[in-house]
Structure 1
Amino acid sequence: MSAPELERLTLGFIPLLDAALPIIAREAGFFADEGLEVALSRENAWSTLRDKVASGLLDGAHMLSPLPLAMSLGLSRAPCETLAPFILGRGGNTIVLSRHWSEGMNDIGEEHDPRDNARRFAARLHTHRGEPPRLAMVYPYSCQHYQLREWLAGADIDIDRQVTLGALPPPRMVEALENGEIDGFCVGEPWGSLARHRDVGRIVASGAQLWPAHPEKVLGVTASWALRYPTTLAAMIRALHKASQWLGASPEHARRAQSWLVLPPYLDRSVAHLESLAPDAPPAWQSLVGDPRPTAEIMSHVAEHLDQHMRKHGRLLDMRTLSTCYSPAHFDAATHQ
């Protein structure tokens, strides 16, 4: 194999559990094994991370799975063709309501249909006479936004009239709920379980129950970067693949990974409440060790939401862009599939 075109690169991440694979790849030496010296840059907002990747300030990043497609289509910013050559995690989102709004609701679990809590929320809204409750999601083009809307719509809640939706960076969610700035949110772990741990909110639904096995985070790089540095991209994919296989190999590896995630440059105190890194369990049912190979087909549900948005603005989703964005070609070339 040829040496990577770049020896040093910087990847962005948002402090979430599904940033684990880049962190593991760096701390366990899998990037180094592939001839890469990788710095990880902690970002606090998806819009900031997006703009840094598009402008070349970051070589790539841990991204929301719909974000590369939204960037390629020019949604919320100038078009920037972006690729998602590796799936970093599936599931992991939770819908949390404040103690006031979740009163009388079920704790989420396998035996409870998350739509039951949505119907209880709807019943409360029908008798509510004050300001609509304020619900936060992380970014307009995100699985969290779409899952929250589906959860509300499934109980016939008028999203435009009975609630107020807004975007908030994941690290701000728990504090905003505790301070009364918002009344609930949909976010990736560890922020939902942290709200429950602090007793400021209740997890009333899981994204993994609403969308089983959906790709939640991906590696994102611009198409121009991938074209310029194909060997570097292949090395990065192999390192992340090795990190996923290593994480799933033993409970001891999961414990060691957790010890890396709690370091200040990464997730710091936001994961201190977790007894162990066991993401593939309720309430989040998060998988970091599943099949990392992307395809357009597994992004079809997300694509439907983006298509609906574009139709409202007189545009149609370009299926060629969808297929290019989530093509498995780079993954297959790197792993020789």
Structure 2
Amino acid sequence: MSMSHAPERPRLTLGFVPLLDAALPIIAREGGFFAAEGLDVTLSRESAWSTLRDKLAAGLLDGAQLLAPLPLAMSLGLSGPPCDTLAPLVLGRNGNTLVLSHRWAQGMAAPYDDTPGGRDPAVNARDFAARLRHRGAPRPRLAMVHPFSSHHFQLRDWLALDGLDPDADVELVALPPSRMVEALELGRIDGFCVGEPWGTQAAHRGGGRIVATGAQLWPGHPEKMLGVTRQWAERHPLTLTAMIRAPIAAADWLSASPEHRRQARDWLALPPYLDRALDHLPTLPLGEAPVDQRFTALRPEAGQLGAVVEHLARQLGGSLDRNRIDACYSAVHFDAAAHQGCA
């Protein structure tokens, strides 16, 4: 690396929540891809998205793995005080699971079973609605990870497939991802929508059944993104370029061979990261049914966030500023980093 491209801030702290789609930052650190860009990166594990949001906004983190809707929600002041936030890199696509307790999921098809119920999420949604209407009160309690998350919005979309009102027919609560499985097993919730590995872990442990996935509801959607504040990006443009290039290199390495997927799984299973949460996974599952987790197509595109924008606009009771959306999810920093890589 030439001195002219050396990062202004070589020591960084990046935040993450223990999920499979924290894979690229973890691989970039453990595999030496951050180091190759001149960065000494510390990864800070946080249990809740609200903590990650607050630390990023306060400048306690240089960057963070963020829920795809969160940069825009932060910029608009919908999630705490307004904080102009950018999402210059997609960290993962798909990966969410909608899980119900056995009481509610009995007889439902697993996603991608060779049955109508497995191929069409509306079939299981119809069964759920019929049971809810038959049983009446108390309303089932369904958990999602954060009010401004694709999990929340996908859960609402799934319920609406058979005309249920998410605000009246069920009780929606927010829980950190790592608490979902235990809460389901203890009967504190009746289901949840969460990122991997928690959905397959619930099924593996026998606590619930996967009845729909984010890949069915929003195929190929950006699920997690790298987030930085605009102020930080403007002060550290070369550091941001290096921060983007390292996960891109990690994604290329990951896709190169099955052995790399197994190595990545072992890195993610280290105690600082996901630890025992991966015990049920022999390798890092990518592009496989039912979850179809992907770490490809990392270039951000505002047009791919249409469902997110629609839900946020509905919450605000009007349309959103198109320029604000385009600026938040602009590919300008990604393209600059990719161009430097080809130079």
TM-score with structure 2 setting the length: 0.95
Greater displacement, 26-35 / 271-280: 271-280
Quote the residue 1:308 is aligned against: 314
Q: Which residue of 2 aligns with 1:272?
A: 279
Q: Distance in 2 between matches of 1:279 and 1:165?
A: 30
Match of 2:150 among 137, 143, 147: 143
SS in 1 for 2:103: coil
Q: Does 1:323 align with 2:330?
A: no
Cross-structure match for 1:159: 166
Mapped partners of 1:10, 1:149: distance in 2? 34
CA distance in 2, matches of 1:160, 1:141: 15
Q: 1:224 aligns with which of 231, 246, 254?
A: 231
Counterpart amino acid of residue 104 in structure 1? G
Is 1:234 aligned with 2:237? no
The answer to which of 274-283 and 70-79 deviates more is 274-283
Question: How many Å apart are 1:279 and its aligned residue?
Answer: 2.5
**Structure 1 residue 310: deviation in Å?**
1.0
- 1:97 to partner: Cα distance: 0.2
SS in structure 2 of the partner of residue 38 of structure 1: strand
Instruction: Give 1:57's aligned residue.
Output: 60
Worse-superposed segment, 300-309 or 42-51: 300-309
Residues 189-268 of structure 1: matches in 2 within 5 Å?
189-268=196-275
Alpha-carbon distance in structure 2 between the residues aligned to 1:180 and 1:66: 29
Structure 2 gap ranges (5+): none
In the alignment, the residues of structure 1 paired with residue 81 and residue 90 of structure 2 have an alpha-carbon distance, to the nearest angstrom, of: 25
Q: Counterpart in 1 of 2:18?
A: 15
Match of 1:293 in 2: 299
Deviations 1:252-301 (CA, angstroms, capped at 9, x unpaired): 1000000101000000001111122113111211101x111111111122
Distance 1:116 1:295 in 2: 31
Q: Distance in 2 between matches of 1:241 and 1:172?
A: 30
Taking the aligned partners of 1:188 and 1:279, their CA distance within structure 2 comes to 13
Matched, 1:121 2:124: no
> In the alignment, which residue of structure 2 is the partner of 1:3?
6
Structure 1: which 4+ aligned runs deviate by more than 6 Å? none
**RMSD of aligned C-alpha atoms?**
1.0
Deviation at 1:156, TM superposition (A): 1.2
Query: Does residue 183 of structure 2 align to residue 176 of structure 1?
Result: yes
SS, match of residue 313 in structure 2 = helix
Deviation string for 1:166-188 (max 9, x for gaps)?
11110010010011110000000
Distance in 1, matches of 2:45 and 2:255, equals: 25
Query: Which residue identity lines up with residue 6 of structure 1 in the other structure?
Result: R
1:132 corresponds to 2:150: no
Secondary structure in 2 matching 1:127: helix
Question: Alignment partner of 1:220: what SS?
Answer: strand
Q: Whole-Å Cα distance in 1 between the matches of residues 211 and 56 of structure 2?
A: 34
The 3-state SS of whatever aligns with 2:300 is coil
Q: Which moved more, 1:21-30 or 1:108-117?
A: 108-117
Q: CA contact under 8 A between 1:12 and 1:58: conserved in structure 2?
A: yes
Secondary structure of the residue aligned to 1:322 is: helix
The partner residue of 2:99 within 96, 107, 130 is 96
Q: In 2, are the aligned partners of 1:92 and 1:279 still within 8 Å (CA)?
A: no
CA offset digits 1:140-174 (Å, max 9, x no partner): 11110010000000111132222101111100100
The alignment partner of 2:88 has SS state of strand
* Distance in 2 between residues matched to 1:57 and 1:254, nearest whole Å: 32
- Number of equivalenced pairs: 333
Identity, in percent, stands at: 62
- What amino acid is the match of 1:89? G
Alpha-carbon separation, structure 1, partners of 2:154 and 2:258: 31
Question: After superposition, what is the alpha-carbon deviation per residue over 1:197-249, rounded to whole angstroms, capped at 9, x for unaligned?
Answer: 00000000011011110000000000000000000000011101000000001
Which amino acid counterpart does residue 4 of structure 1 have in structure 2?
A: P
1:294 and 1:158 map into 2 onto residues whose CA distance is 32
Correspondence 1:79 to 2:44: no
Q: Could you report, residue by residue, the CA deviation over 1:89-134 in whole angstroms, capped at 9, with x for unpaired residues?
A: 0000000000111111112215321111111001101111331000
Return the alpha-carbon distance in structure 2 between the equivalents of residues 15 and 140 of structure 1: 18
Q: Is the 8 A contact 2:262 2:282 kept in 1?
A: no
Q: After the TM superposition, which of the residue ranges 62-71 and 278-287 deviates more from structure 2?
A: 278-287
Amino acid in structure 2 at the alignment position of 1:128: R
